[in-house]
A and B are shown apart, each in its own frame.
Chain A
Amino acid sequence: MVKRVSCSRVVVVSLLTSAIIGFGAESSRADAAKGEGVFEAKKCGGLCHITQGPATEKTFADQLKKKGPELWYAGNKLKKEWMEKWLQNPAVIRSLEYNSLEKKNPGNHPKLGKDEAGAVTDYLMTLTSKDVETGVINPKSSLQGKIAFEKRQACQGCHQVEKTGKVVGGMVAPSLVKAGERLQGDWVYAYLKKPKVFKPVKRMPIYEGYLSDVDMKNIAALVASF
């Protein structure tokens, strides 16, 4: 008798859980579709943000005509919570305008309302790349990571970082201050390992052969811990 009650409970709980998960998944898909609609209506695609992979840029001109970062792997690169907040209150990530070496970033990215930001986030999180293996990098600030990041290579030459409470570093690349809130470590590692998959034409040098696999993993873990 006792056994039968337990089984019934298990069945009821399972059904409820499936219903909740199923509803959640359905709701998320609906929001993603709504988000794609918002993305298109607000003309976020085209030269502003490419959402169709794989990358096709071959020349400097192909890269320089883009007005913003490609998002076709946004679901691997960016963190959902960060994206939803950022779309409502877009703060400057790159000191200079995208692709520019002179013009200051005017910080005029369009703002979205809460509902739209949530829907667009759900849509962007569906954009993923088969070249990012998930569950490889855990955020960790290690001495080895710092040595690889600052000494073996000098990432701070182009990327701003926080050092003893002060923002230092180059202006040309995206800031890495609090990058752990924004970036997924698995993507940072995949990008260091296979940069041409994500950005075939870019100013950042290719480090394959100059940083070991362990260095790349340590750097990715370090950046994810910022």
Chain B
Amino acid sequence: MNKKALYFIMIFAVMMTLGKGISYAVTAEENYKFYCVQCHGPAGKGDGINVTKDMAVTPRNHASTADMSKLSDADITNAITDGGPANSKSPLMPPFGKTLTADEIKDMVSHLRKLCKCTAK
């Protein structure tokens, strides 16, 4: 491999590393506060500002040990990634699979387990 090619590969690798570092530096708490609290509420109790009397279903109470322990980590991952219909639930839970990365969704599942103080069934 000639020197020029090696030089370009090194620059590309540095750019990719920097880009990844910047875009992934968001915690699950920050993502929750930005994307989830409008429906699930600031403490995850399912009482966000979008919840009006006309809303067809009540958002999941993430602070409920009883409700959340019924769900496996895969159930939660699927609901976040592909929305409520992935678990035969309401489309009022939208899909975040193109908004959050797989790592961010994994971190979010852990964050929800902290909110409910529970583990998978």
A→B interface (CB under 8 Å) = 58-60, 96, 101-102, 151-154, 157-158, 168-172, 203, 205-210
Flag B16-36 by CB within 8 Å of A: 1 or 0 each. 000000110010001000110
A209 & B90 in contact (Cβ 8 Å cutoff) = no
A171/B34 contact (C-beta < 8 A), A60-B26, A157-B92, A210-B83 known? no
**Contacting residues, chain B, for A102 (C-beta < 8 A):** 49
Q: Which residue of B lies closest to A96 (CB)?
A: B49
A210/B30 contact (C-beta < 8 A), A154-B91, A169-B52 known? no
B91 & A101 in contact (Cβ 8 Å cutoff) = no
Q: Tell me how many residues of B have a C-beta within 8 Å of chain A.
A: 26
Please, how many angstroms separate the alpha-carbon atoms of A58 and B55 in the complex? 32
B→A interface (CB under 8 Å) = 22-23, 26, 30, 34-35, 37-39, 48-50, 52, 54-55, 82-83, 90-92, 94-99
B94 & A171 in contact (Cβ 8 Å cutoff) = no
Q: Which residue of B lies closest to A201 (CB)?
A: B34
Please, how many angstroms separate the alpha-carbon atoms of A16 and B96 in the complex? 57
B34 & A60 in contact (Cβ 8 Å cutoff) = yes
Give the distance to chain A from B27, nearest Cβ to Cβ, in Å.
11
B55 & A205 in contact (Cβ 8 Å cutoff) = no
A58 & B50 in contact (Cβ 8 Å cutoff) = no
Contact of B52 among A58, A153, A168, A210 (CB under 8 A): A168
Contact of B55 among A96, A151, A153, A157 (CB under 8 A): A157
A205 & B91 in contact (Cβ 8 Å cutoff) = no
Name 10 A/B residue pairs within 8 A (Cβ), A-sorted. A101-B38, A101-B49, A153-B83, A153-B94, A158-B38, A169-B54, A170-B38, A171-B52, A205-B98, A205-B99
